[in-house]
Structure formats: C-alpha cells, structure tokens
Structure 1
Amino acid sequence: MANLSRRSLLHATGAAGALGLFAGTPAQALDRALRETTKRTVSTAGTTLEAVATPTGTGFKRITAGPGWPLVVRPDLTAPQSGRDDRRTALTSFVQFTDLHIIDAQSPARVEYVHPFIGSAHRPHETLSTQGAAALVKRVNSVQSGPYTGRAFDFVLCTGDNTDNHEKIELEWFLTVLNGGTVTPNTGDPARFEGVQNSRATLYWNPGDSTADMYKAKGFPQIPGLLTDAIKPFSSPGLTRPWYSVFGNHDDSVQGSFPSGIPLIDGIYTGSTKIEGFASEADAAKLAQAMQNSPLKAVELLLNFSGPVRRVTPDARRKPFSPKEYVAAHRDPANTGPGPVGHGFGPANAAGKDLYYTFQVAPGVIGIGMDSTNRAGLAEGSLGDKQFKWIEQTLKGGSSRYYDSKGNLVRSSAPDQLFVLFSHHTSGSMGNLLPDPTNLLERRHDGPALVALLNRFPNVVAWVNGHTHRNEIIAHPGATPAQGFWEINTASHTDFPQQARIIELTDNGDGTLSLFTTLIEAESPYRTDFGDGSAAGLASLYREIAANDLHASAGRLGAAVDHNTELVLVKPF
C-alpha cells in the first residue's frame, strides 16, 4: 500500500516541499497527501490530520475549517524502512499540553501596559483562558487514542506555564479544569469585571463599549456582553486520563520575569490598586527592557512606576504561590482527579526545592520531568548542578551502555529502558545562568550542555518542551547514529495557533523506532456568533480573538516538518 514514506516524502522544508512531490495543482497535491496519510492511520478524527483552524478574510479574520495537514516523515537521524506500518508495535501514546497560561485577567499584579513592547504582557482574549483550556480537555477525552497506533492515551503532561502569574486562584482554576468541576473565572468584585478591558483606555480592546481603542482600529468588533459572560461559572469535564505537571517560569515568577518572594510586590497582588496605563511611554519601554534583561532593575522600576490607577476589589485568593505550595496543591487528595496522586510530585518534592521526578510512561519507557526555571527571574531557564547530575544518574540507571563525557563506551548491568524527557524550556531558551538565589553557589547548566548529556545515552528518544509558543521539531544527532534524539516543541494554548500534541512511540520491528507527532486543537466551533456566551462559544472566541491579536506571529505556526510528523531513529537495543 502506498504511503508518504514510500513516495519518498522523507524530508521536507515546509508545506511546499512536501506537496511538491505530487503532480497537479497544490490543492490536488494536498488532497493526495492527505489521502495517503489517512491510509497509515487508525483514525484522523479530531486531529489536524482532518482539519485545521484557519483565519480567513480581511480586517478581523474569522476562523474556518481549513484542510488538514498531511504526515511528513523525517529521516534526519536514520532512514525509515519500507513495510514498517505492518510491523510496528505501539510502546506508548500520550498528549502534551503546554503554556495554558490560565490567567486572572483582573489582577492588580499585571503589567498589561507594557504590551506595546512585550506582546505577551496583555492578550485581548485572556479573559477566556479557562474556557479555552476546558475545550482542549474535551478534545483529548473525545479523541482518546493515538491516530497511528490506536493505543489509548497513557497520560497527559503539561510542560509548564500552567498559570500566568503564579496566583493561587490561577492554580485552583488550572487544577479544576484538568480534574473536572465548576470554575468561576472571576476575582475581586463577584458581580462585575474590573480589568483593563473595561477601562476605556485606548491601549486595550474594550469589547463592551464604543471606545475608539487601538484594537478596534484594526477591525476588532464590539461585543457588549463578552466580559459579563467571561466571568460566569461553567463546568469542565476534567481529563479521563492520568496527567502530570512540570514547572514553568510563569508558574514561578511575577509575570514570568520578576523574581518571586519580594514582599512589596507580593502585596500588590492582594491590594486594591491597579495601574491601567503609563504616564510616560519611555518609562514603560524601560520597564519592558528590564523585564527581559535585569530582574532586580525591573523590580525597582515596577515599584516606582506611575500611571492611571483604578481601585479594584481586594482578593486574598490572588496571593502568589511558592514552589512548595505548587507541589502541595498537586499532592492534595482533593486534586487527584484521574491521578496519579501528586501528578508526578512525590514526597521528595514536598519541600519545593527539587521539582523534578521520574515516572513510568509504559512498560520499558521512563519519563523524566525536569524543572528548567531559574528562581533569579527572567523568562529563560537553566538547570542547577544537582538536577543535572541527577538526570545523568537516572539515565545511567536505565542504560546497559552509554558514553562517558570523553566519548568512551561504558557497559553496565542496568536494565535497558527508553527515556522521554519533559521540561518547560527548550534547548535554545536555557541561557539564564544567573545564580539561583535559593542556592547561590550552585553551578547552572544551559541548553547545549543538556543536549550534550542526552547525546551520550542512545536510549534517550525525545525531549518534549514548550515555552516558545511555537511548533518546532529539532533533530539532535550524536557521535553515532544510535546517539541521536528528537526535541519536540509545541505551540502554546494561549497564543494562536493554540495547539497541543499527541505523541506515539512505536517499535518498527526493523531496528528503528518512530515518534508520531500529531497536533490537535480545542473542541469548540471554528466559528460562532459574537454573542454566544456559552462555554463552547467563549472557547471558540478565545481562539478567534487570539488569531487576530495585534501581537500574533505567523512564525509560531512552524512549518510542515514541525506539525504532523513521523520522526525515525535508531532502536538502541
């Protein structure tokens, strides 16, 4: 039976490269590619193999169901063998969520006013983050299994930035969305919205009135009841599969950038003073620059920042949580949901200092959850020396052979296991080597150092991460063909394209393994009426407004080689 690999679709640089191998018009080529992809699947239903949310039109773009994305086979690490579809055995199937950014959009401890300089400081759709996340949960529950193996999902893992501003109420909403229950996405005044989006400031989209703001100038509509609907209670079904969690910089730091635990900043969270703009654009630019380069300078500027002030209703639930409290909330029996207890965090993590762990992915496959954040602040991450050495020892404990730091082959009596690692940060975003204030003398390790470590172990198959809000899959070849592994980075569920990823690991029965990576989107209508205040309607608007964000970037989509792929690698044993 013909399939994309047998038609030599082994390496493409984008959609055009993939489709160029087929005769006819681009539309005909895409249709053929999708039909050939479908032949290799058990089912494409509910995935981007079937359809993809696609913005259309001019001005404020509406979302439609665009054609699905076909499979692209990547032979960067080793050549695929013919006939493997008939031989493959499923080893595991799981789902990655990343960068959900559950947001308390009314918090006084937000810096929305720097969004002209840092686009992520404010998003016009952020009032709907909980509804969007719940719709993603519904999608996983309805798909249930991997499209290429039919294996039921073993688990879901959230690779960090599960909250946006590490508030206790954001963490509560996150846990409720994933475990199931009623969410009331409102803080402060229980009867009305008190965020920047009804401030009448032209710096923000004011959906409820006719303010001539900078968003309406770009075609954003007026939706009078949106903010009222956004804060109404709704129900999340909760995941039906076990789920795990790792820590991200937004789970650790103020706005993902400022160091935590500074009393004056912590007091802003639960107070009644909310800055809604800036008195000086130059001051806002300085603050934005410091947030990206100098955490202590950013704190100084924030505490002295001036601008239009709004009095809001104080709310103790906005208090920031510590790493210890993050772990405790996950380990609370009330938050076990579909399991496991602690969602990866065990007694060794209870003190909140070492937020890394291992877990059984499936027979013969071990997962490693890492903590790539740096308590010093800034968005980028790194690994402390203790964790770095722990990862090395963990890999040695599951490897009958590996290479030492000088490239010498080492043999041991350890049982062979395959490893999949998970972190928030990517290899390219782990350059923050500032001393950790909780352990000032500890050495920090960057992304290339971790890649070099992982390349020493042939049984490392994948490193799965987020942070960049971009789809990108990178091959990391080693000194020998068996020492290569794949880095799989997935777009966020806050910035468009708002996707998550199914990952299936198979043994091809011919000395190779394959990782199938299939993107999925929230289960909500591609388009709804602007006045649809239902949870499904709000989730639909969450995606559509995100696609029109003034700071949206087409680069986050990635290329065809970063979407629905088969990543082939050498079987290490």
Structure 2
Amino acid sequence: MRPRSRRQFLTGASGAAAAAALTLLDSPYASAAARDRALAASAARAVDVRGTTLEQVATATGGGPYRRLASGPGWPLVVRAELAAGSAGRDARRTGLASFVQFTDLHLADTESPVRFEYLAQYIDSAYRPQEALTVRGASSLVERINALSGGPYTGLPFSLVMATGDTTDNHELVELDWYLTVMSGGAVTPSTGDAARYEGVQNSGGAGYWNPESSFQDTYKKAGFPQIPGFLGAAGRPFTAPGLRTPWYTTVGNHDDSIKGTLPDLGLLTSLYTGGGKIEGVDDATAARLADAIQHDPASAVLILLHLLEGGGPVRDVTADPRRAPFTPQQFAQAHLDPSRTGPGPYGHGFTAAAASSGKLYYTFPVAPGVLGVSLDTTNRAGWADGSIGTAQLKWLESVLQTYSTHWYDTDGAVVRRGSQDQLVVLFSHHTSGTMGNTLPDPYHLFEGRHTGGELVALLQRYPNVVAWVNGHTHANQIIPHGHAVAERSFWEVNTASHVDFPQHARLIEIADNGDGTLSLFTTLVESAARYATDFGDTGDAGLAALYRELSYNDPYATPAAKLGAAGDHNTELLLVRPFG
C-alpha cells in the first residue's frame, strides 16, 4: 500500500526502467550534439524562446541522496503529427490566432491547519511535502515569470489570459483562497495562520517522519541529506508583497477546492475542527494504515475516523484557533472572485458571476481571442474521492454551447447536422483529465442527477469539429494525448500539465496558429518559475525561499519526478490538427 519513493523504485524490480526515466530527467535527449541541433532548429522557428524550457531547464547535479539543481540545456520542440500532417513552409505562412497561459495545481497550503493528514505520507505521498510551507511564494514566483515574458514563443502574440485549472487551494480553506486571489491579483500576503508570531505545524514537531528544518535533530529527511536551515519556518510565514499578474486571469475549480484534502466529502461535519485548536501530528501505524485505506476507498468512513481521533482521542498538539481556516462552499468560491479588490488586471469575477455565487454552478464560457471560445468545466464530485465526473445538466449545457458556436456537427450516428450560424474554435478547460473522470458516485447535493465519465465527454467533443483542445491538470504530470477520429476534423488534442507544487513545477504556454494550408498548429511550451536554480541554505529572503521551493520538491523522498516529468513529446510541442470549417 505504501508508495515507493524514487530511490526505492530504483532498487526494485523495475530498476532498469526507472534508471532510464531518471536519465531522461537529467538529460532527455540521446546525445548532446543531437540535442543542440534540435534546440537550434526549435529556436530558428520561434520568435523568442527566452524564459522558457526551450532555453534552459532545471537539472539535477552531483550524487548522493540530496541533489542540487542547476541550469541545464532546454528541451527542443517536438512536432506531433498523429492527427494531421504538416506541410513545408508553414512557419512563413503562420497566422497567430491565440496565445494564453495555463497554471495548474498550485495547492496553496495552510500547513498549520488542524485538518491535515501529514502522518499518512508513508501511505499517501501528497499528505506531506517538505516544501509545502513555501507554496504561496512559489506561486508568486511563477507569476513573476509570466510577467517577464513578452508573449508566445512561436506566434509572438501577447498572452490574452492565464487560466488556473484547479486545485488552487490545498484544503479548500478560506485563508488559502485569500492567498490565491492575492497571488493572482497582487497585494500583501502573510502565508501563515494561527499565532502570527510562531509556526504551529509538523515541521517543528520533532517528529522523525517530518523535515524539521530549524532543528539539528536527525529526522528521516536530514538522514537523506536535507539541510538544517535556521529561521526557515519564520521566514516561510513572513509577510511579503505579491506582484500579481499583469494579464487577465480565470479560474477552473478542482477537487482540492471543494473537498477535504481533495478526497473526503465535506458535509459540514468538520468545520469546527478546521477552525479549532487541536492538531494531530502523528498516530500509531495501525490507525494510520486504516485511515489511509479509508481515504482512498471509503471517504465517508474516513471522516468518521478523523472525527473520533480529534474529538474522542484528544489532539496531539494544541494550536491557535483561527476562523479563517473555515472551509468554503462552491458559492463562496465564486463570490470571493467577485470581490472588486481582487479584480487585478480583470476580468471582474474571473469567469464567475453573481449567478454562480448564488447557485454554485462553477462552469462558464469566456473569450480566449477573436474567433476562439474558452469553456471552463466543473468536473469535481462532492461525493468524495479525488477523481471526477460531470453532471447531466452541465453536459447538456456544454452541448448547447458547442452547437451555438459551430455551423455543423455530427449526430450520434455520424450524420452531419447543419444548423449553427457561426464558427468559433473551442478550447475546453477542466481540472480532471479524460482518464480521471470515472467517479460516478451520486453527488450528495444532486442525488438524482446522472454523472458522466471522461470517455463520454470525449465522445461528445468528437462530434463537434470546432473543439481543438482540452487543457487540464490533476495528475501532476505532463502528458499530451491525441484523440483521433476516422473523420479528421473530429479529432482534438488533450493537453495535461504538471502541477506547481510537485517537481517539475511547470506551467504551460499554449498558442494556436493557422498554417494557411488547412491545418492548425497548437504550440505547447513549458515554463518554470522565475526562481533561480542555485540555492543558498543561508538565504531565507524571498528569492532564496523561491529557489528552495523547487529544490526541496525535487528531493521529496515520496515524490516521483521522473514519472511526472513526461516524455519529450509531452513537453514543448507543435500539435498539428485539421482546421475545422474548411
């Protein structure tokens, strides 16, 4: 049941395959000469590769259990022609249609919250991360990177928007949502809760299973090479000013934005525990195993176990109560985006309306660029479990949108239907991927509504030629999937991007271009935050903490960076597609 770490994986039966994956992580291309030629060709086709992974990539150096990061060679552009063939000379004919940015899985975490399960890290790798006290600074550093870029590397178009595809918060707390809105719109932020004068989380507990950065105690992490950094926790919770995006931004909801740690149904039973003063920092192995199993297989019983531990068994540690830790509802999530002080570069509401704040319906449409429509879906299921699905009402709404913006489509028998009056390309955004939408448990707030899987959604999208891309997150991994069809115009690309909490901590630039030959190109370029690669354990300033955020994430013993990195064809790509509507 316990996930093997990167190091354990390398010594297991699949050692050869894992070693190959780590080779990819450190040097993704077969030879330095071949890589350099590919990089030169990629740059020659581009307007400007600076500030992207086409230019440089964080690369592990040295040996030992704890590895430092440095600047390594960038990743060349990979042309993917599974859905259409590209013609020569298309760069000269190319017309940019849209250029935008995807953030995903920021997981801004209140690490001092009583309703966390750090003690389950040996069973659930996301329960505790050594870098998680730095999530807010890490996200702000990513904003700095986007602000420094002039536009898309292949079209040169300025970014029309940034879309955050869910899990912006880690535990759907009001204070985490406040941090997210501040990071995106700009302003003063204090990434700490409870007693502002002291840290009250597991990282100063003295527990051997956690990294205790300020202590000389040889916990499990320090034995694996993690440093001792005096003043780290105080610095991590220190106020700073987030610059905020200069580009309009939107939000898509994720499972961590609507349930307890993204897994357990929030039926209002634990609100007093969120805001109260008792925090569990450890349980015996048998209880941990039982709770971990319940979280993964029976979320309702996990809530009962947690209630028993906190109310019946007594807290392990007293912490300062804080009402800001209260969990938010879908209605409150939308309403917070409507705060005029959080409008930043716009748009007002960031996709959400007063109607959304009233109904809790967190799906909407918005303009990406002239002739390009964005559709943001809510794929969460409030019944619990991490994976998602989509309700019947939302599915019908989506189909009506697709019909409105297409002059023709295909019925379920494959016959052409010609009814629409306008053509717009459609880019779909969701948190979950097509492969992680199998959770069809009845939504407890809409018990009699049907739920639909990712496969059903793919089948619907392939009936509408105007759908060119489905952009999502959730898996914390880079993966690009072609959804082909015998009728070429019914094909589309699914673009899944790694998180910004786990290494490799990526965001993605996405550009749509018309090649003037009956095809479109979707350019997908990965970017890292603005943080420097080199770390200095004596530097606990803002820049030093941002650099540590990346390096600590790489060295997390429960992380699997090679698996999350993806292959070359999941990185910087040109995705070819038949242009719909002739």
Give yes or no for TM over 0.5.
Answer: yes
Query: How far is 1:414 from its partner?
Result: 2.0
Q: Distance in 2 between matches of 1:357 and 1:479?
A: 30
1:475 paired to 2:479: no
C-alpha distance after superposition, 1:373-423 (max 9, x if no partner): 001111000000000111111001111110011211111142011000000
Q: Which amino acid aligns with 1:262?
A: G
1:530 paired to 2:534: no
- TM-score relative to the length of structure 1: 0.95
88, 107, 110: which one aligns with 1:104: 110
Compute the RMSD of aligned alpha carbons. 1.6
1:294 paired to 2:298: yes
Tell me if structure 2 keeps the 8 A contact 1:373–1:383: yes
Q: Distance in 1 between matches of 2:412 and 2:519?
A: 25
Residue in 2 that maps onto 1:40: 45
* Partner SS, residue 343 of structure 1: coil
1:211 paired to 2:217: yes
Listed as ranges, the matches of 1:310-349 within 5 Å are 310-349=317-356
Q: Distance in 1 between matches of 2:455 and 2:448?
A: 21
* Partner SS, residue 462 of structure 1: strand
1:276 paired to 2:281: yes
Tell me if structure 2 keeps the 8 A contact 1:155–1:241: yes
Residue in 2 that maps onto 1:394: 401
Residue in 1 that maps onto 2:563: 555
Listed as ranges, the matches of 1:56-455 within 5 Å are 56-57=61-62, 58-263=64-269, 265-278=270-283, 280-305=284-309, 306=313, 309-455=316-462
Identity of aligned residues (%): 58
Q: Which amino acid aligns with 2:56?
A: A
Tell me if structure 2 keeps the 8 A contact 1:226–1:531: no
Q: Distance in 2 between matches of 1:537 and 1:16?
A: 28
Any unmatched runs of 5+ in structure 1?
1-12
1:27 paired to 2:32: yes
Query: How far is 1:16 from its partner?
Result: 10
Which moved further from structure 2: 293-302 or 241-250?
293-302
Q: Distance in 2 between matches of 1:482 and 1:380?
A: 30
C-alpha distance after superposition, 1:39-68 (max 9, x if no partner): 001111000000001122222110100100
Query: How far is 1:352 from its partner?
Result: 4.1
Tell me if structure 2 keeps the 8 A contact 1:15–1:559: no
Q: Which amino acid aligns with 1:567?
A: L
Q: Distance in 1 between matches of 2:183 and 2:49?
A: 25
* Partner SS, residue 126 of structure 2: helix
Residue in 2 that maps onto 1:503: 510
Any unmatched runs of 5+ in structure 2?
1-19
Q: How many residues align?
A: 554
Q: Distance in 1 between matches of 2:126 and 2:336?
A: 26
Tell me if structure 1 keeps the 8 A contact 2:330–2:357: no
* Partner SS, residue 186 of structure 1: coil
Q: Distance in 1 between matches of 2:314 and 2:337?
A: 38
Q: Distance in 1 between matches of 2:124 and 2:84?
A: 40
Q: Which stretches of structure 1, 4 residues or more, deviate above 4 A after TM superposition?
A: 13-17
Q: Distance in 2 between matches of 1:177 and 1:332?
A: 14
- TM-score relative to the length of structure 2: 0.93
C-alpha distance after superposition, 1:526-548 (max 9, x if no partner): 01211211111111100000000
Residue in 1 that maps onto 2:492: 485
Tell me if structure 2 keeps the 8 A contact 1:14–1:560: no
Residue in 2 that maps onto 1:5: none
* Partner SS, residue 121 of structure 1: coil
Query: How far is 1:479 from its partner?
Result: 3.2
* Partner SS, residue 303 of structure 2: helix
Tell me if structure 2 keeps the 8 A contact 1:88–1:508: yes
Listed as ranges, the matches of 1:508-527 within 5 Å are 508-527=515-534
Q: Distance in 1 between matches of 2:557 and 2:22?
A: 25
Tell me if structure 2 keeps the 8 A contact 1:276–1:307: no
Q: Distance in 2 between matches of 1:435 and 1:293?
A: 16
Tell me if structure 2 keeps the 8 A contact 1:277–1:308: no
Q: Distance in 2 between matches of 1:188 and 1:537?
A: 25
